[in-house]
Structure formats: structure tokens, C-alpha cells
Homo-oligomer: A and B are copies of this chain.
Amino acid sequence: MAMKNRDNYIKLEFSSLPENVALARVLIASLVVQVDTTITDLEEVKVAVSEAVSNAIIHGYQNEPNNIVNIEAKIVAGELEIVVEDSGIGIEDVEKAMTPTFSTHPDRMGLGFVFMKSFMDNVEVLSEIGKGTKVVLQKKLVNDGSCARVAT
């Protein structure tokens, strides 16, 4: 197939609706399958994106639907970088927030950042109280011509 593994860039802005978590996930998956990567890589990226976007909606905007979440993704030389950004309440103590099982919600497991960290090569969180949160996720995509087509 022509034109695989080219550099690519996308940026999506969307309402902070729970349904849009799937939308962001599908979009990023469509981007990742353009690279001949493994199904495992694809699955891992989907979970990480789902966690970051869910956090923006649930925590950042406290489920208020009339806000905007931003997701930017680029692939440069097989290196994927995703930035998820909200202008919500922000995180007081990022280190504490990233501790496994820590959650400010009683119903939640505190595994969001754990999954982001296990499934991506690098996770960076920038947050300011009252201003919002920016999560940068990076991953080198494994090039595997034998598997990618299955996932399209």
C-alpha cells in the first residue's frame, strides 16, 4: 500500500461530553493504524487516550458538558505524541494524583495515570489550579507490517 509511515498531524477540539471519549479514541486509532504498527500498540494507545480524555471530562470539567477538550496528535518518524488539554479545575498535587490507586472520586480506581504510564513510553502532566491540565503522551510505534492491516 502506498504512503504508509508518513508524518502526520491532527488536532481535535470537542465538547466535554462523555460520548466524545469514544470519538477521540476512534480518531487516534484511525491515525495510529496508518502506521504499520502492532495491534498491542494500537490497544495500548487507545486505553491511554481514553484515560486522559475521561479525566479531562470527569475531573477537569467535573462533567459539565459545555466545555472544550483539545487533543493534538502527531506522528513523526514513527514517534507518536498526543497532547490532551482541558481548561478545567487543574490538579493541586500532580505527583500525588499520579500515585497508583489515588483518586478524588470514591467510585473510581485511581488507575488512569497508571495505565497511561504503563502503555506509553513517556507521560508528562502540566497543571495549574483553576487554569487546566495538559497531559503529554509519547510512544515509539513498533513497525510491524504483518499486523497493521487487521486492525483497520
Contacts and interface: CB of A to CB of B under 8 A. Distances in A.
Interface of A: 3, 6-15, 17-20, 22-23, 26-27, 30-31, 34, 65
B19 A23 contact: no
20 contacts: A6-B17, A6-B19, A7-B15, A8-B14, A8-B19, A9-B15, A10-B12, A10-B14, A10-B15, A10-B20, A12-B12, A12-B13, A12-B27, A19-B34, A22-B30, A23-B30, A23-B34, A26-B26, A26-B30, A27-B27
Nearest to A69: B10
A10, A13, A20 pick with most chain B CB within 10 angstroms: A10
A63 to B, nearest CB: 11
Contacts of A15: 7-10
A8 B12 contact: no
B3 A20 contact: no
Contacts of A30: 22-23, 26-27
Contacts of A26: 26-27, 30
Contact of A65 (B6, B14, B17): B6
A23 B134 CA distance: 24
Nearest to A25: B30
B31 A18 contact: no
A7, A18, A27 pick with most chain B CB within 10 angstroms: A27
Nearest to A26: B30
